[in-house]
């Protein structure tokens, strides 16, 4: 029996995203709700573990597959791997089980010759020449090469051509089966909710009957009491079931790909409504109230993953209110106190996503007060100690964004000390090891800001080593896979700073491969999609520095497509809005370098509009202020290149004002000092000689200080010489006076 229903052969250079999307559609189309997949499809990025002998593993997978799905394109035709895979298939399986999807190029059949017309740019591998008796059916996927969404109805219909052939059933029957399966899943959810509504109604009716009977006559008191107790038990059972329904549905929808987001919200809203109705229908126990709060917190996690910050905040507030009431009623219950501290952290997380940073910091500090008290009460309680370290992390993140670098580093150091103690006491605890890898990354980030590149790289590598160990133990853990990809990206960032572009590109590609696998497995996970867009940006950055503009532009556009969808889905998510502004700027830079100034200027202005909105909403966010200064400079560069000197000067001065404020607030932040140098240089280039001279001298003073501290990056090592040369090239002061 074959291990795989199909094997996907494609060009890694161009067709990874569409291959992943097609795999997702083929595997899930028509599957029952209780199964993970309907078909098992082999794609090397998701199905192969690391092996020194790649071809034997590929050959084994081919031999164990029933169909070969070929993504045809000029790149695939030129790929030796694709040719080798197709040649093996023809020799061992034949052309009858080979299915073709064209992602680029054109196919034309010549009836007279009985073969395709072979010409330059032919998307089929040469090994297929003369191998078809008659024209095979092929599916046109060229419209989806730049971005295929597995939820798109037209893409699903195209994927159904392959899934139907592999299932051995008509396409229309398969699509009808898919509709039936979706309806069946929804009926199960609705029937669960309906059953609980009936149960709640029955409980309410029994409650009323019990009260009426109790008042009716003294002689029936015992009977009424029995009825009352039965009603209370029914109400408690219904409430507990409703709480469990909210909890289970929230977790199920978060972990399940392919369900429309609006439908998920509709079902969760109904489940929440039932939960609230039962709670408000009569008295309830503290235990039931606690499970209600727990279910709401699980709901917050799911709503954040769906990008609905408004609904997430409402659920978090309800959970906090319940837990505050319970804790106030019994201050000595440490479990309720712990629950309350966690609820404050959840509110902080939602506020961060909504861009309400100061309120988020206040919420996390409320959590810290409780966590510190609990941890001091029982230093041996691992969970309480871990809670305290997590809250330190969250506070450190917000302080870092606010430019309060020393305070942030202090918070991270407290977290590190706790996690080192915990892992030393229990080295086999994988969750604690993962926590330790995360705090190493956070401290690495702070060391980078201070220009301590070697120390930052060492911290990142410590985090990477832990992440690699975790993934080796459990490769299916997506949280650990995501953590490993982040470590690769951060190491790549430091390598770029030190001028090691090839090594950085290798790290970025390692991170990209992991993130592509994660998003292909769960396209609805917004966080993984966001991380994937970041990987595309990093690779594009390296390609730009290598002079590969077109390839860089393709990577940036891949990231932009993801970010536009995310930002449109939740305009209130400030992280996604900022990401979108970054994409616009990167694309504008490439267009400007290619001489397409008007296009570049238009794109940079899109970025500026987003950043002006963000900084207006939160003026104290130093990262957003820096972003705004960058946008001003990019627009100023375009205006200067177009000869619009006065406009360029005005825009650059806006950037300078921001950077002077930032540099004065944190003189030890080498990144902000370098930004200030950049602004001084840009203004000098469009200023009168006398003004330019003063600006350059000020810049040289800052550069000398950075150089003495060893904080200049590899790309900045030529600054002292180049700035002094620029100063020397200005007209002498005496000549200016004449």
- pLDDT tens, residue by residue, 50-73: 444 567 778 888 988 999 999 999
Of all helices (H) and strands (E), which one includes residue 527? helix 526-545
CA end-to-end span of the chain, whole Å? 93
What is d(CA 190, CA 422) in angstroms, rounded to the nearest whole number?
A: 45
Q: How far apart are CA 694 and CA 410, in angstroms?
A: 38
Query: Are 661 and 625 within 8 A, CB to CB?
Result: yes
Give the phi and the psi of residue 703 in degrees, each rounded to 5.
-60, -45
pLDDT for position 508: 93
Query: What does the pLDDT read at residue 132?
Result: 81
Which residues pair with residue 139 across a beta bridge?
Answer: 101
Give per-residue pLDDT as tens, 669-720: 877 888 888 888 888 888 888 888 888 888 888 888 878 877 776 667 778 8
Per-residue pLDDT, averaged over 589-618, amounts to: 92
Q: Which domains does the chain have, with CATH numbers?
A: 4-169 (3.40.50.10140)
Burial class (CB in 10 A: 0-12, 13-18, 19+), 84: middle
| Whole-number pLDDT of residue 50 | 40
* Model pLDDT, residue 238: 53
Helices (H), 217-282: 221-255, 261-280
pLDDT digits (tens, 9 = 90+) for 183-219: 454 454 455 455 545 544 554 455 455 445 555 544 4
Which uninterrupted H or E stretch holds 102?
A: strand 98-102
Average pLDDT over residues 572-583: 91
Q: Judge whether residue 737 has pLDDT over 80.
A: no
Nearest in space to 371 (alpha carbons), one of 383, 362, 359: 383
CB 560 within 8 A of CB 579: no
Averaged over 284-312, what is the pLDDT?
75
Residue 181 has a pLDDT of: 52
Q: Identify the DSSP state of 370.
A: H
Which of the four pLDDT bands, split at 50, 70 and 90, describes residue 47?
A: low
Phi, psi of 529 (to 5 degrees): -65, -40
How confident is the model over 654-671, as a mean pLDDT? 86
CB 681 within 8 A of CB 723: yes
Classify residue 3 as left (phi > 0), alpha (psi -120 to 50) or beta.
alpha
pTM over 0.75: no
pLDDT at 239 exceeding the cut of 90: no
Q: How far apart are CA 73 and CA 82, in angstroms?
A: 11
- 412-461 pLDDT per residue, tens: 999 999 999 999 999 888 889 999 999 999 999 888 877 888 999 999 99
Give the count of beta carbons closer than 10 Å to the beta carbon of residue 443: 23
d(Cα 542, Cα 509) in Å, to the nearest integer? 11
The pLDDT assigned to 98 comes to: 93
At 598-610, the pLDDT tens digits run 999 999 999 999 9
Distances (CA, A) of 452 to 10, 262, 344, 677: 43, 46, 34, 19
| Weakest-pLDDT range from 216-220, 402-406, 657-661 | 216-220
Dist CA 271 CA 197 (whole Å) = 10
Other C-beta atoms closer than 10 Å to the C-beta of 696 total: 24
CA distances in angstroms from 550 to 142, 466, 506, 544, listed in the order given: 20, 37, 19, 9
Who has greater pLDDT, 482 or 686?
A: 482
Q: Between the CA of residue 245 and those of 14, 83, 269, 280, 296, what are the distances in Å?
A: 43, 51, 12, 17, 11
Return the pLDDT at 344: 93
**468 pLDDT exceeds 60?**
yes
Give CA–CA dist 581/567, Å, rounded. Answer: 10
Q: Is 35 exposed, middle or buried (0-12, 13-18, 19+ CB in 10 A)?
A: exposed
**Catalytic residue numbers?**
85
Average pLDDT, the chain: 81
Return phi, psi of residue 465, to 5°: -60, -40
H runs (alpha helix) in 404-500: 405-425, 430-449, 453-473, 478-497
pLDDT score, position 340 = 92
pLDDT digits (tens, 9 = 90+) for 329-354: 888 888 889 889 999 998 998 888 88
Residue 546 has pLDDT above 70, yes or no: yes
For position 180, what pLDDT does the model report?
Answer: 53
Give the residues across from 132 on adjacent strands.
none
| Residue 88 CA, distance from chain mean position | 38
- Separation of alpha carbons 659 and 550, rounded Å: 32
Identify the residue with better confidence: 79 or 152: 79
| pLDDT, position 285 | 67
Query: Quick one: pLDDT at residue 217?
Result: 47
* Structure confidence by residue, pLDDT tens digits, 117-126: 888 778 999 8
d(CA 76, CA 79): 5
Tell me 124's DSSP state: S
- The answer to whether residue 738 scores a pLDDT higher than 70 is no
Distances (CA, A) of 137 to 41, 109, 276: 20, 11, 55
pLDDT per residue over 134-171, tens digit each? 788 889 898 888 777 766 777 888 888 898 888 888 87
The stretch 230-239 carries a mean pLDDT of: 51
Burial class of residue 127, CB neighbours in 10 A (0-12, 13-18, 19+):
middle
User: In terms of pLDDT, which residue wins out, 506 or 623?
Assistant: 506
Q: CA-to-CA distance for 103 and 653, rounded, in angstroms? A: 48
Mean pLDDT of 521-533: 86
**Average pLDDT rounded to a whole number, residues 656-665:** 89
Question: How far is the C-alpha of 716 from the C-alpha of 722, rounded, in Å?
Answer: 10
């Amino acid at each position: 029996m074959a291990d795989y229903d199909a094997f996907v052969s494609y060009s890694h250079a161009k067709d990874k995203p569409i291959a992943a999307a097609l795999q997702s559609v083929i595997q899930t189309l028509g599957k029952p709700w209780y199964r993970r997949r309907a078909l098992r499809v082999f794609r090397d990025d998701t199905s192969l573990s690391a092996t020194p002998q790649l071809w034997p593993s590929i050959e084994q997978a081919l031999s164990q597959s029933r169909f070969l799905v070929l993504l045809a394109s000029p790149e695939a035709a030129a790929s030796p791997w694709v040719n080798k895979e197709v040649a093996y298939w023809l020799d061992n399986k034949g052309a009858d089980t080979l299915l073709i999807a064209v992602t680029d190029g054109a196919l034309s059949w010549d009836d007279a010759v009985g073969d395709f017309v072979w010409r330059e740019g032919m998307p089929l591998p040469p090994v297929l020449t003369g191998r078809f008796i008659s024209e095979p059916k092929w599916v046109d996927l060229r419209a989806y090469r730049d971005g295929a969404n597995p939820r798109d109805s037209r893409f699903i219909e195209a994927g159904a051509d392959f899934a139907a052939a592999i299932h051995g059933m008509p396409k229309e029957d398969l699509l009808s089966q898919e509709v039936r399966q979706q309806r069946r899943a929804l009926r199960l959810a609705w029937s669960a909710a309906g059953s609980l509504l009936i149960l709640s109604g029955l409980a309410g009716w029994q409650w009323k009957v019990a009260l009426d009977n109790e008042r009716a006559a003294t002689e029936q008191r015992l009977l009424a009491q029995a009825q009352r107790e039965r009603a209370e038990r029914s109400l408690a059972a219904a409430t507990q079931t409703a709480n469990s329904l909210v909890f289970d549905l929230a977790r199920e929808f978060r972990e399940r790909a392919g369900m429309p987001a609006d439908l998920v919200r509709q079902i969760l809203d109904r489940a929440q409504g039932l939960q609230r109705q039962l709670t408000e229908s009569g008295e309830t126990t503290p235990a039931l109230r606690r499970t209600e709060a727990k279910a709401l917190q699980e709901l917050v996690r799911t709503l954040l993953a769906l990008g609905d910050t408004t609904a997430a905040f409402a659920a978090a507030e309800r959970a906090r209110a319940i837990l505050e009431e319970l804790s106030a009623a019994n201050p000595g219950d440490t479990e309720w106190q712990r629950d309350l501290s966690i609820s404050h952290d959840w509110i902080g997380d939602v506020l961060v996503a909504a861009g309400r940073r100061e309120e988020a910091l206040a919420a996390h500090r409320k959590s810290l007060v409780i966590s510190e008290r609990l941890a001091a009460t029982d230093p041996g309680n691992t969970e309480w100690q871990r809670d305290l370290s997590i809250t330190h992390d969250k506070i450190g993140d917000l302080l870092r964004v606010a430019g309060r670098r020393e305070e942030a580093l202090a918070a991270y150091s407290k977290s590190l000390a706790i996690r080192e103690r915990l892992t030393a006491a229990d080295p086999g605890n994988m969750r604690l090891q993962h926590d330790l890898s995360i705090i190493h990354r956070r401290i690495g980030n702070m060391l980078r800001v201070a220009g301590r590149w070697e120390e930052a790289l060492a911290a990142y590598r410590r985090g990477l080593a832990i992440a690699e160990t975790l993934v080796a133990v459990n490769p299916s853990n997506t949280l650990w896979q995501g953590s490993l990809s982040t470590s690769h990206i951060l190491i790549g960032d430091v390598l770029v700073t030190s001028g090691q572009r090839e090594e950085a590109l290798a790290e970025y590609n390692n991170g990209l491969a992991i993130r592509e696998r994660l998003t292909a497995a769960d396209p609805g996970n917004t966080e993984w999609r966001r991380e994937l867009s970041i990987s595309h940006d990093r690779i594009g950055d390296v390609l730009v520095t290598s002079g590969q503009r077109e390839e860089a532009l393709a990577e940036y556009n891949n990231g932009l497509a993801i970010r536009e969808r995310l930002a449109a889905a939740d305009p209130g998510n400030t992280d996604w809005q900022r990401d979108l502004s970054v994409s616009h700027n990167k694309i504008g830079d490439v267009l400007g370098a290619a001489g397409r100034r008007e296009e570049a200027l238009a794109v940079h202005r899109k970025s500026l509009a987003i950043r002006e909105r963000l900084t207006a909403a939160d003026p104290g966010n130093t990262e957003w202020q820096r972003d705004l200064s960058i946008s001003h400079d990019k627009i100023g560069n375009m205006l200067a290149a177009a000869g619009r000197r006065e406009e360029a000067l005005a825009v650059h001065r806006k950037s300078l004002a921001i950077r002077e404020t930032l540099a004065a607030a944190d003189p030890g932040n080498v990144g902000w000092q370098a930004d200030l140098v950049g602004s001084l240089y840009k203004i000098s280039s469009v200023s009168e000689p006398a003004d330019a001279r003063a600006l350059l001298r000020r810049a040289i003073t800052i550069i000398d200080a950075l150089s003495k501290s060893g904080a200049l990056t590899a790309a900045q090592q030529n600054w002292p010489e180049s700035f002094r040369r620029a100063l020397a090239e200005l007209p002498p002061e005496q000549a200016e006076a004449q």
